[in-house]
Amino acid sequence: MHKVVINISENYRLDRVTQCLEQVFEQLGGLESIVKPGMKVAIKPNLLMAKKPEEAATTHPAVIQAVTALVQKSGGIVSIVESPGGAYHTNHLKKVYAITGMEAVANETGAELNYDLRVEKIENPEAKIVKSLKILKPLADADLIINIAKLKTHG
């Protein structure tokens, strides 16, 4: 059975976001039970487009910074990996990382920003519906992927 944990932060202050995430990971058995020293951990934010954090369209950088710091504290080696909409090339990705605040997170934490745009086909012949799909090679190469969604509405 899968476990879902929800916690609320009243704001995006880094100390408060970190506290909320620590409580979430604690309810899941502790981050150290998931992240082992030396693991390559890909943190996958939702960076749909180059929008500033205050526009609330992408994962807030404080959330990514807090998760990154907690993973690093557990010994993980962090890469921030995304493939946003729009032109799919390094210059566009640099712009998205800069405007969404991910560049600042990487500078603050020492996490790597991924610019490797190669894809790898992943096969799963026993699957009922999707038997293969293409994902970014850095995600395929990671020991662990932490997907950080962004709750939002469209319309």
- DSSP-derived letter for residue 45 is -
Q: What is the pLDDT of residue 87?
A: 73
For 9-15, what is the mean pLDDT?
Answer: 96
φ/ψ of 33, rounded to 5, equals: -80, -15
Where residue 1 falls among pLDDT bands split at 50, 70, 90? Answer: low
Interatomic CA distance for residues 107 and 54, integer angstroms: 20
For 15-42, how does the pLDDT look when each residue is reduced to its tens digit (9 = 90+)?
A: 999 999 999 999 999 999 999 999 999 9
Interatomic CA distance for residues 89 and 150, integer angstroms: 23
Where residue 150 falls among pLDDT bands split at 50, 70, 90? Answer: confident
The answer to whether the CB of 95 falls within 8 A of the CB of 50 is yes
The answer to whether the CB of 74 falls within 8 A of the CB of 35 is yes
φ/ψ of 76, rounded to 5, equals: -80, 150
As beta bridge partners, residue 41 has: 78, 144
